[in-house]
Structures are given as C-alpha cells and as structure tokens.
Amino acid sequence: AEHQHVRYNPLRDDWVLVSAHRVKRPWQGQLEKPPPEDVPRWDPNNPLCPGATRANGEVNPQYEGTFVFPNDFPALQPDAPEPDDSDHPLFQAAPARGVCKVMCFHPWSDLTLPLMSLPEIRAVIDAWAELATELGASYPWVQIFENKGAMMGCSNPHPHCQVWASSFLPNEARLEDRTQRQHLSQHGVPMLLEYAEQEARRKERLVVENADWLVVVPYWATWPYQTLLLPRRHVCRLQDLSDSERDNLASIMQRLLIKYDNLFEVSFPYSMGWHGAPTGPSLEEDCRHWQLHAHYYPPLLRSATVRKFMVGYEMLAQAQRDLTPEQAAERLRSLPEVHYKKRAE
C-alpha cells in the first residue's frame, strides 16, 4: 500500500504502475466544475427530451420509458464505400461499416440511473439485450456504452447511452478475445469466471455483491475508482441473461452507482460499457472462452473537482494509478447505499 509496484492485467496483456504514495502530493492543478444540480426535467431545446426537435428536424415521440433512435451524427454508416487499395504495407486501410443508435433511459432529464427505480433500470437492461440481439444478428460487434457527465464528453444532460454496431472487431474486443481464448486453452476455465470466483473468496477488492453478480475494483485497475461488473455463472452475452439475473443486475447497478454518487456527493462521471462474446458470424462459433462483463471507468481521484489525467508517463510509457485498488474498494464498500439526495426524505 505504501510502495510502488507493477501489476499485470491478464485481460489486456499489459501492466499498470501502482504508486499509492502519490495521492498525498499537494494539488494546484486544474479543478473541474461540479455538474449542475438544477437540470430541468424537460427542456424543449434538449434534443433527447420527449417532444423535442433533433438536429435533423425529426421530432421525438412523447416516450414514457426507454426510447431508441438512430444517431443523428453516426461514426459508422452501413453503406460506406470501400477504401482504395494500399500501395505500401505501412499505409493500410480496411472497410468500416455499421450503425449507431442512441438510447434514452428515461423521459426525465434530471434523473440518472442511480436515481431511477429498479423496474426502470430493468427496462434499460431489457432494451440493451434487445438491441444486442437485433444488431448482433448481422454485425460481429455491438458496443453498448454510456458516457455520464460533461467531464466524459456527454453533450446532453439526459440519461442515455449509445450503441454502435460494427462490421469489424474493435481493438479492445480483439485483445480480450485473444487473452480469454489463451486462458481457456491453458487453464481449462474462462478467465473472468475464475477471476470472479477468486475475488468473491478474497473479498479485499469487493465493492458489492448479490446472488448473481459481483462488482470489484479489479486487481489491475487503471482509473482511481474503476470497477468491473461480473456474473457469477458462465454467460457469454447480455441477451443470454435469465429474468432473475436481469433483476439482480438492475439491483447491483443501482447499488454501485449510488455508492459512486455518494463518494463525493456529486453526480459521478464515468464511461462504462459491456463486453461479451462477438456476434454475427461468431454466433455459430465456439465462444466458451468469453465471459460477459461491464467496465466502469470514472476519472475522479481526490474530490468532485480533482480528476486523474492520463498524460505524460501514461501516454508514453504505461498506465499508472495513485492509490491501490484495495484502498479504492474499501472506500467504495464503506459508503452508504442510500443516495445522498434521498437521505433527508
């Protein structure tokens, strides 16, 4: 806890430098603005609100639950042309096609997932699984991700996520496919299933758990309060979850996200996303090496206004963190599971 060391990340086949003593250094760097607390419940100028007009002129329906629509500024399009042939191996390009969708979690802009009810969160999970099935029928990778908070690039104060389906396996998916395949081949058990069993037994990095899920600050965490959400049984894809697993997923997500908000008593920013077995052609292949999981990457380090920057050594050498995963897990674990905004109710 007091001396620097490096830890191996078997999922990414790389290392992270842990320098726990550095969190004690004085900070005179950039201070972030806390997110606004006075977000209006409905704003006609917010393109994600029910009845609002989006940039392309389309008017949103008066939706009352989740709402999915094509991204008006997609990074991937289904009919993109083939790139020109390369005349040199150092200048390669390949086709990239796909679709991008936006999914609103709730009609109210002043809510976030930790403040939503369990049935409302369960509806989000069901919508995720539906999109994963629909888009995964033809695309090899479906990336569900949420950028929460302006600090993480969220452009609209409204509870929502994005879903990008691509004709190729992105870098992170390729890497996790390789490492998990190697682990199963060498050890005879899926890597993250074995890892979840180890963390459930050791408990030193455990944040929350229930009958079907556990959340840990991973042994190899890079971001200060990074967490990994894991199922207890072997399951390859989000759409493979049972009813009870989806209910318990809604519960454990709510508990984790309430703890995140309670840490600095602020709407906690993060980027999160689901990783599961590839789809499309891979639906007919053996994907037993895969284990479904979700990554949460929050940037805040010391307070609501001081974030961790991935610069300098992190960009040019390797990832480095300023407190141990065990310290981060203990702090998250000790936080109450009643949201700070509801304590006076």
**Residues placed in the known binding site for Fe cation:** 176, 275, 293, 295
Residue 158's Cβ-side half-sphere holds a number of Cα atoms within 13 Å equal to 24
> What is the residue-wise DSSP string for 32-94?
PPPPPS---S--TT-TTSTT-B-TTSPBPP--SS-EEEE-SS-S--TTPPPPPPPSSTTS---
Whole-angstrom distance, CA of residue 132 vs CA of residue 143: 8
Cα 26 to Cα 22, 33, 42, 107: the distances in Å are 9, 19, 41, 42
Residue ranges of the binding site for UDP-alpha-D-glucose: 22-25, 55, 71-72, 147, 153-155, 162, 308-309, 313-314, 320
Beta bridge pairs of residue 215: 208, 229
Residue ranges of the binding site: 22-25, 55, 71-72, 147, 153-155, 162, 176, 275, 293, 295, 308-309, 313-314, 320
Selection from 25, 16, 18 nearest residue 317 by Cα:
16
Answer whether 185's CB lies under 8 Å from 149's CB. no
Could you say which of 106, 158, 160, 339 is catalytic?
Answer: 160
H/E segment holding residue 192: helix 191-202
**How wide is the angle at C-alpha 100 spanned by C-alphas 151 and 58, nearest 5°?**
90
Q: Is there a catalytic annotation at residue 21?
A: no
Whole-angstrom distance, CA of residue 72 vs CA of residue 68: 12
Those residues with Cβ within 8 angstroms of residue 302's Cβ, 6 or more apart along the chain or in another chain: 23, 27
Beta bridge pairs of residue 18: 5, 321
The residues that are catalytic are 160
